[in-house]
Structure 1
Amino acid sequence: MKKRVILGMSGGVDSSVSALLLKEAGYEVIGLFMKNWDEKDEYGVCTATEDSNDARRVATQLEIPYYTINFEKEYWDRVFTYFLNEYNKGRTPNPDVMCNQEIKFNAFLDYALKLDADYIAMGHYAQVEKKDGKYYLLRGKDKNKDQSYFLARIGQKALSRTIFPVGHLEKKQVRELAEKHNLYTAKKKDSTGICFIGERNFDEFLDKYLLSKEGDIIDIDGNKIGKHSGLIHYTLGQRKGIGIGGVGTGEPWFVAGKNLKKNILYVAQGKNNKALYSTSLIGESPVWIMEKAPNMPLKCTAKFRYRQPDIPVTVDMLEDGKLHIKYDEPVKAVTPGQVAVLYQGEVCLGGSVINSIEPLDKKYSYLNQN
């Protein structure tokens, strides 16, 4: 009897080729489109409708059943509310990490199991390896597309039931397979941006849901040099869009910190300014793929944002369960709200939300104290 796999189909080429590969491998494949967000763009078009139609066309081509499931409430309650709360705290969240933790590998998995699925599948560039009864999350073969960073907060229950059909392939190979089999999405461009914002203006989107108030821009020497449009519109290390060109030495300005209580945006001039660097961080709410913390202190590598090169670190567990992650060398623009994802070689160990950072120069400790 064929094993049943319920595949999350997004309307993109990766999940389309995943459907093709699963069918060729002899699975009973059912395509399921997750509708997580309902909003039209400025042209009155709901991209979820377009994506669903594209997924349906591919399912028809491959002769597999196709359905849609509405997770809008779950997404609002578990991901979008978190996203807004983090911005209100002056932090910069990563909703894609939370979407995987709460929706794709939680709500979607639970729904699939009710449909007697043996496995779920997703078009992520990552791999699962079973060893000694445990399930390990490995980086995808295509290092430029590896998505293990976004999967760092899922556990054994989900991994034991998950297949990543394209994880062992390069993106170029995925495109070639789609074209070879004339899949409808073969030439469809990859989606960019946060899932519920897409390619719309990010600042306008935030203004729709959060109050933003103009305030002072102050440099690290205490000089008032301009006005900001609301702290929610800025993130640590940001260079573009600050609006204070032509001041000082002529070097670019970077966001160095925020003070929520006083509504101040702090900036520093020059890309190598010490105020932009930290030596360690405190991470909260750690989630371990093995569901058990490794032995501490732990020497490993970390990424503090997607596509960042691996950074050698030493991790210790604090008494309150938070992590102290010390970098071998100072790192620029480590941002509270983002996720510190830990690796041992090709294996992803888990992820922790960045709570605070320790500046390279202690005199800049005031920059991010709220």
Structure 2
Amino acid sequence: MSDNSHIKVIVGMSGGVDSSVSAYLLKQQGYQVEGLFMKNWEEDDNDEYCAAAEDLKDAQAVCDKLGIELHTVNFAAEYWDNVFEYFLAEYKAGRTPNPDIMCNKEIKFKAFLEFAAQALGADYIATGHYVHRQERDGKFVMCRGLDDNKDQSYFLYTLSHEHIGQTLFPVGNIEKPEVRRIAEEQDLITHDKKDSTGICFIGERKFKDFLQKFLPAQPGTIEDTEGNEVGEHEGLMYHTLGQRKGLLIGGMKEGNGEPWYVVDKDIERNVLIVGQGKDHPHLFSNGLNANQLHWVDRIGPKGTTRCTVKTRYRQTDISCTLLVGEDGMARVLFDEPQKAVTPGQSAVFYAEDVCLGGGIIDSVIK
């Protein structure tokens, strides 16, 4: 085994099982390992929802058990400026953003990477993400994690090959049950801690209640696809494509008697458009246009490329044709129509197991 004892790795410790096992594995591999806990959100004084204190306690317990030092850093200001304000602006514009992707871009692989190198003298950082890296033709590429259910490359498409070269992903080639088994075997307190879900700064709160604190609601009408008014909404930002719950028109037996689903938003008129049936034709599109493109190799495909795309996390890959224009926009044509492709979300492109990059969905092609 190569001697790693002179290589310093700072592990982003979240208080979860994946980062705990990442730290353990790196220590086993002989690296100089230290942990860093990032606080990215300043909770309200009376905020019982934020689990940051509990997560810090768990991260400290794991580091104590492994005999490694735990540093802490507060990135709340950076998070507010670069992630949260973007999140609010997108919702205000009627789109559905993905703050986790922006957090990885601006916090975990920018602020953390810089802090670890400059303040802590790190040679590498490491995270518990389910992806793995390979070196091909002198550049690092990001490959999907071994565990299909947990692959997180969708959330990391904004990384560049330089970031990947500076980051270790110790659990990327392990399946989740094995990660939990290792944690239990090593008596790590996080071995049975449930995975965090949802948006970190909202926690267990109702999304609508949280959003109302920051954005004034703009009520408007609900129309069916023929333009008939069928109800009222409290704000477009509370609804996303394909949504059924919370429409307050469930009792209507008009039309075919099937439940109503959100099929579109008319931002200019502040109108929510609904249709009956979970497979309503208005929910399907033949392609999408994406902007704010980012390519892992910093070059990206030129002209027309056959590849696959995901328009949301854990989606089965969609075969498609990708055309990148001179204007920096991507036009994507699906082989088969796709349901509930949502502006504001990310379209992430793959060549087999390699994540090429992606962009933000600007509009759909009907």
- When normalised by structure 1's length, the TM-score is 0.95
Secondary structure of the corresponding residue to residue 108 of structure 1: helix
CA shift, 1:43, in A, is: 5.8
Cα pair 1:226 1:244 within 8 Å, conserved: yes
CA shift, 1:272, in A, is: 2.0
CA shift, 1:261, in A, is: 2.8
Give 1:102-113 correspondences, 5 Å limit. 102-113=106-117
Q: Give the letter for the 2:154 counterpart.
A: Y
Segments of structure 1 that go 5 or more residues without pairing to the other structure are 360-370
Cα pair 1:192 1:199 within 8 Å, conserved: no
Indicate whether 1:160 and 2:169 are aligned: no
Segments of structure 2 that go 5 or more residues without pairing to the other structure are none
CA distance in 1, matches of 2:49, 2:96: 28
Cα pair 2:49 2:204 within 8 Å, conserved: no
Instruction: Find the counterpart in structure 1 of residue 246 from structure 2.
Output: 241
CA distance in 1, matches of 2:275, 2:46: 35
CA distance in 2, matches of 1:214, 1:89: 14
Cα pair 1:336 1:356 within 8 Å, conserved: yes
Indicate whether 1:324 and 2:331 are aligned: yes
Cα pair 1:40 1:47 within 8 Å, conserved: no
Alpha carbons of structure 1 residues 243 and 45: separation in structure 2 relative to 1, 3 Å? closer
Indicate whether 1:173 and 2:150 are aligned: no
Percent identical: 54
Cα pair 2:144 2:353 within 8 Å, conserved: yes
Secondary structure of the corresponding residue to residue 75 of structure 1: helix
CA offsets per residue over residues 192-236 of structure 1, 9 Å max, x none? 101111221111111111111221110001111111111110011
CA shift, 1:23, in A, is: 0.4
CA distance in 2, matches of 1:42, 1:333: 37
CA distance in 2, matches of 1:276, 1:92: 16
CA shift, 1:133, in A, is: 1.1
Instruction: Find the counterpart in structure 1 of residue 297 from structure 2.
Output: 290
CA distance in 2, matches of 1:323, 1:79: 24
Cα pair 1:41 1:200 within 8 Å, conserved: no
CA shift, 1:256, in A, is: 1.3
Q: Give the letter for the 1:314 counterpart.
A: T
Q: Give the letter for the 1:295 counterpart.
A: K
CA RMSD, aligned part only? Answer: 1.2
Q: Give the letter for the 1:271 counterpart.
A: K
Give 1:140-159 correspondences, 5 Å limit. 140-159=145-164
Q: Which moved more, 1:28-37 or 1:236-245?
A: 236-245
CA distance in 1, matches of 2:144, 2:297: 16
Cα pair 2:302 2:324 within 8 Å, conserved: no
CA distance in 2, matches of 1:196, 1:304: 23
**1:118 corresponds to which of 104, 117, 123:** 123
Instruction: Find the counterpart in structure 2 of residue 187 from structure 1.
Output: 192
Q: Which moved more, 1:266-275 or 1:88-97?
A: 266-275
CA shift, 1:40, in A, is: 4.5
Instruction: Find the counterpart in structure 2 of residue 255 from structure 1.
Output: 262
Q: Give the letter for the 1:260 counterpart.
A: I
**1:90 corresponds to which of 90, 94, 99:** 94
The number of aligned residues is: 359
CA offsets per residue over residues 91-135 of structure 1, 9 Å max, x none? 000000111111101111011111221110000011011122110
Cα pair 1:38 1:48 within 8 Å, conserved: no
CA distance in 2, matches of 1:288, 1:101: 13
Cα pair 1:304 1:340 within 8 Å, conserved: yes
Instruction: Find the counterpart in structure 2 of residue 299 from structure 1.
Output: 306
Secondary structure of the corresponding residue to residue 297 of structure 1: strand
Indicate whether 1:61 and 2:65 are aligned: yes
Instruction: Find the counterpart in structure 2 of residue 365 from structure 1.
Output: none
CA shift, 1:83, in A, is: 0.5
Q: Give the letter for the 2:319 counterpart.
A: P
4+ aligned runs moved over 4 Å, structure 1: 40-43
Indicate whether 1:264 and 2:271 are aligned: yes
Cα pair 1:239 1:254 within 8 Å, conserved: yes
